[in-house]
Chains A and B, each alone.
Chain A
């Protein structure tokens, strides 16, 4: 269990992390999501006691990182892939880390084998590709066989094969009951791996929720209707109390209604339907909605697509217009 309490980091006048309080629960994959520059890496560095917080604390099983006896046996972390001495062989890079935490050198061979680098163990790590560097970083995280693993944007810059490998590795590690904390700026990536989500934007907590709840709440589901008798259909729907949004091409979108209800309703009123389908907005859209107000580096355009609601019906998305910093915290995912 990792607890963050009012964690704050200032760089001069700029706040990178702003009173962040949350918990990383044991035994599940927690996704740490936010746009670029949201403060994810800074938060992770503070968790490892590499950066000193301006205020607030991080506790790992109730202890500060600096109090841990042999920290690699508690937490393994991949921060950036190139955090190794390029003039040293992969094996020796891992060996010196292992020795400092009294991990037997046989474990070095084990983790090299695990990440598929045995063949290049004696090669200097400066010749490694990004993917190999990432694997070496993961090997160093696994060295102490830790209960908690932290990965900062592990799929960044990897080819599809590498992404697939990391995804499966995280799932395998989680299935062994380990705590996994993984950051990303890609919602789609998180949707595939995470059980729980912590979303931040401009250093502030935007959401702390289980993945299932997040999907439930944020993937807007609605029914899509098309009919040659559009006027009548709309009247009927209004009478029944549905909120109807008319979009281009005479398509009606109805929130919170099942296709069964609507089909039966149309039949009762003898209305012809040309289309009746249920739709879901993607999680990526929901994430962009959530962080729209806190994206630090917008693309240079007047109308920023990221800030524009992609497919939004009236009434939806209002919950995100609440003042910034409103915590959407619930404990249901525990």
Chain B
């Protein structure tokens, strides 16, 4: 078997030596933080215009994560590119000739890229939270309040898991363009729209992003959102199952198909 630390080092070199890593992760951070702060400021200013139900379930923590909906797309791009460029560049053949053990290769890649995405996700999450609370002023909360730390850490985990899910999908589809063409509209439009359609709601709430984002809510059914039949951790668990399925699918494709 190939030496795992050696393959991890190699994958780290691959990630740090391409510019797409920097710009996707910076975008994920900046978009999430800026949009979260802007929406927090906006909601704070227009608090009185909110419906009664929304005021009753006002969740300052969740509000500060409003940017996630856009910022996660940059995480999707990061995850897809980490795996997809191996295929689009033809590097995959060189890589597999160097590390023919498919599991070692794919898991090392996902471990390194996933750890980086989790780190950036957590950083993004904490900065979003503090900046959002600053914008909310008196309506804000703090890390010491009940369940707030869980939601903030959860927000970071969510970002990391979205990236890992995208890596699995890209490994299954073996193409950056195809993966982005499916994942971007899915997370940005399809999932959001279906979650708002009465009939499709009950299915859409089990989608990875819908289930996983529950972890970011401190107030149950925050901002008058749909009540879910699962709690925050169970929601994240559902997302983890999606991620595991995607990575397993990616591994099976890598193992069985010709490179």
Q: Which residues of B contact A66 (CB under 8 A)?
A: 100-101
Smallest CB gap from A50: residue in B: B259
Q: Is A329 an interface residue (CB 8 A)?
A: no
Partner of B17, one of A48, A79, A88, A98: A88
Query: Which bucket holds chain A's interface residue count?
Result: 35 or more
Q: Which residues of B contact A88 (CB under 8 A)?
A: 14, 17-18
Smallest CB gap from B101: residue in A: A66
- B6 and A102 within 8 A (CB): yes
- B258 and A96 within 8 A (CB): no
Q: Which residues of B contact A71 (CB under 8 A)?
A: 97-100
Smallest CB gap from A83: residue in B: B90
- A101 and B17 within 8 A (CB): no
User: How many angstroms from the CA of A51 to the CA of B255 in the assembled complex?
Assistant: 10
Smallest CB gap from B86: residue in A: A85
A-B contact count (CB 8 A): 100
User: How many angstroms from the CA of A178 to the CA of B201 in the assembled complex?
Assistant: 65
User: How many angstroms from the CA of A50 to the CA of B95 in the assembled complex?
Assistant: 10
Chain A 77-103 near chain B by CB (<8 Å), digits 1 or 0: 101101111111100110111111110
- A87 and B18 within 8 A (CB): yes
Given A84-B91, A87-B20, A50:B97 Cβ within 8 A: yes
Q: Which residues of B contact A51 (CB under 8 A)?
A: 258-259
- A99 and B6 within 8 A (CB): yes
Q: Is A140 an interface residue (CB 8 A)?
A: yes
Q: Which residues of A contact B2 (CB under 8 A)?
A: 69-70, 100-101
Chain A 226-266 near chain B by CB (<8 Å), digits 1 or 0: 00000000000000000000000000000000000000000
Chain B interface SS verdict (over half): helix
- A100 and B7 within 8 A (CB): yes
User: How many angstroms from the CA of A58 to the CA of B108 in the assembled complex?
Assistant: 27
Q: Which residues of A contact B10 (CB under 8 A)?
A: 96-100
User: How many angstroms from the CA of A82 to the CA of B88 in the assembled complex?
Assistant: 11
Q: Which residues of A contact B101 (CB under 8 A)?
A: 66
- B94 and A84 within 8 A (CB): yes
Q: Which residues of A contact B97 (CB under 8 A)?
A: 48, 50, 71-72, 75, 77, 79
Given A70-B2, A101-B98, A102-B3, A96:B17 Cβ within 8 A: yes
- A96 and B13 within 8 A (CB): yes
User: How many angstroms from the CA of A92 to the CA of B11 in the assembled complex?
Assistant: 11
Tell me the residues in window 88-125 of chain B with beta carbons closer than 8 Å to chain A beta carbons.
89-91, 93-101
Tell me the residues in window 37-85 of chain A with beta carbons closer than 8 Å to chain B beta carbons.
45, 48-52, 65-66, 68-72, 75, 77, 79-80, 82-85
Q: Which residues of A contact B13 (CB under 8 A)?
A: 92, 95-96, 99
- B259 and A86 within 8 A (CB): no
Partner of B90, one of A68, A84, A97, A101: A84
- A50 and B89 within 8 A (CB): no
Tell me the residues in window 64-102 of chain B with beta carbons closer than 8 Å to chain A beta carbons.
85-86, 89-91, 93-101
Smallest CB gap from A126: residue in B: B89
Given A50-B258, A85-B18, A65:B100 Cβ within 8 A: yes
Closest 5 CB pairs of A and B: A100-B10, A92-B17, A51-B258, A99-B10, A83-B90
The chain A residues found within 8 Å of chain B, CB to CB, are: 45, 48-52, 65-66, 68-72, 75, 77, 79-80, 82-89, 92-93, 95-102, 140
The chain B residues found within 8 Å of chain A, CB to CB, are: 1-3, 6-7, 9-11, 13-14, 17-20, 85-86, 89-91, 93-101, 256, 258-259
